[in-house]
């Protein structure tokens, strides 16, 4: 049954260089699916945590600096990025430091609010970097896999033509092995690149949606702090 598999047959009949191309494509495929599954699970978890935190904040936005939330650990690897929590924590720390320097009745001045807003931008940038970590691997695979397949194609055709002696008395088995390697590596390269391309596009789009959620939450948080703590209100 295995011998009838065209990919296994092409691998068995290929030379050492062809086998190296097959193994390179196999390792790329493994790496592709590891990154896809890991980042897909990560983005799904972040989306769920974001929805839960947004709902919790909307219920207690009247006192924006008194929100108590324990960041969950949802995998043995550790904590997933939690963009809204990280933004809230950074803003809360900065706001409480500014308030503690003066009496609570004094409130926050315009420069204080601008400083808090800059802290929001820093926290957002850090969260985006964490979410987009390792995504470059998928874009690399999208480019590299077809080129490896093309390398196998060219090498297989080269082997085929090298089996054409003068007079064209050909060795059919050697020619077919070269052609089968050429076609198999091309197909494998495309089979690896297509899921990587689709997954990369989906994850990038999900990342943009998460960034919009962060921006909406940041506007709501800053507005709540300004209403509650701005000087003169």
Segment 68-83 shows an average pLDDT of 63
Segment 13-41 shows an average pLDDT of 91
Cβ atoms within 10 Å of 44's Cβ, excluding its own: 12
- Show me where the domains of the chain are located: 12-148+155-182+216-229
Query: Could you read off the pLDDT of 101-145 as tens digits, one per residue?
Result: 766 566 677 888 888 888 889 888 888 888 888 899 999 999 999
**Helix/strand/coil for 41:** helix
Q: 233: burial class by Cβ within 10 Å (0-12, 13-18, 19+)?
A: exposed
Percent of the chain with pLDDT over 90: 30
Q: Please give the C-alpha separations between residue 225 and each of 57, 78, 87, 141, 211, in angstroms, as whole numbers.
A: 12, 31, 13, 45, 21
Residue with tokens 């390179």: 24
User: Can you give the pLDDT at residue 177?
Assistant: 72
| Cα–Cα dist 138/35, whole Å | 7
| Cα–Cα dist 227/225, whole Å | 6
Q: Is the pLDDT of residue 19 over 70?
A: yes
User: Can you give the pLDDT at residue 40?
Assistant: 92
Query: Could you read off the pLDDT of 39-72 as tens digits, one per residue?
Result: 999 899 888 888 888 888 887 777 777 777 666 5
User: Can you give the pLDDT at residue 233?
Assistant: 45
């Amino acid at each position: 049954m295995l011998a009838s598999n065209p990919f296994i047959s092409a691998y068995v009949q290929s030379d050492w260089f062809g086998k190296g191309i097959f193994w390179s494509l196999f390792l790329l495929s493994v790496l592709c699916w590891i990154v896809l599954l890991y980042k897909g699970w990560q983005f799904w978890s972040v989306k769920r945590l974001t929805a839960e935190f947004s709902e919790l904040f909307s219920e207690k936005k009247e006192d924006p600096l008194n929100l108590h939330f324990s960041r969950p650990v949802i995998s043995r690897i550790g904590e997933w990025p939690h963009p809204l929590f990280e933004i809230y924590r950074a803003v809360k720390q900065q706001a409480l430091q500014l308030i503690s320097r003066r009496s609570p009745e004094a409130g926050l001045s315009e420069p204080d609010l601008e400083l808090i807003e800059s802290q929001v931008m820093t926290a957002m940038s850090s969260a985006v970097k964490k979410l987009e970590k390792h995504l470059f691997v998928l874009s690399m695979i999208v480019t590299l896999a077809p080129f490896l397949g093309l390398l196998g194609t060219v090498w297989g055709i080269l082997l085929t033509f090298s089996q054409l002696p003068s007079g064209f008395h050909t060795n059919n088995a050697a020619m077919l092995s070269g052609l089968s390697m050429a076609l198999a590596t091309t197909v494998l390269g495309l089979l690896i690149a297509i899921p990587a391309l689709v997954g990369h596009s989906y994850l990038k789009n999900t990342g943009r949606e998460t960034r919009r959620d962060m921006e909406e939450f940041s506007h709501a948080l800053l507005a709540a702090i300004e209403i509650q703590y701005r000087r003169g209100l």
